[in-house]
Amino acid sequence: MPLPPTSPGLRGLACGLLLSLMACSSAPSGNTPAPIGELSVLEQLAKSYNEVMENVPGNPRDLPPAQRRQFVEQVFAQSGYAYSATLTSLGDRELDPFDDQQRDLARLLLLPLDGVATDQYDKYYDAREIQALHRIRKIFP
């Protein structure tokens, strides 16, 4: 007998709970930013993305912004890095719009902001992170 369909709200709540539990079990041991410009780091993040995605019902891009951030934080944590530290580290660099590795990292870092208005960033990020987001978005819109 098939289970009844769940509402999007219930599905989002269940996904948020799952991501929270996963984050508790593998939070980074420090505030280590992912090294920028290293292909092996991007490959590890991609592997972690696929592994974390297995535990998310549906596409991570369909999650609400706060849960997308939890998802991306989990991807970084599983790779041994801290999302926030990587975000601010990339934001503090001289960025090259033609650097594919910087662009790929920026896309992952900016994933939680898909569809979020600039004036809503403070709901999900602190002031230093917002400053980094603006700098990154200017180079990688």
Interval 59-98: pLDDT, tens: 999 999 999 999 999 999 999 999 999 999 999 999 999 9
Dihedral through CA 132, CA 135, CA 140, CA 141, nearest 10? 100
pLDDT of 53 above 50: yes
Q: Which two tokens stand for residue 82?
A: 């801290």
Is residue 57 very low, low, confident or very high in pLDDT (cuts 50, 70, 90)?
Answer: confident
Mean pLDDT of the chain: 85
Interval 26-45: pLDDT, tens: 444 469 999 999 999 999 99
End-to-end CA, the chain = 47
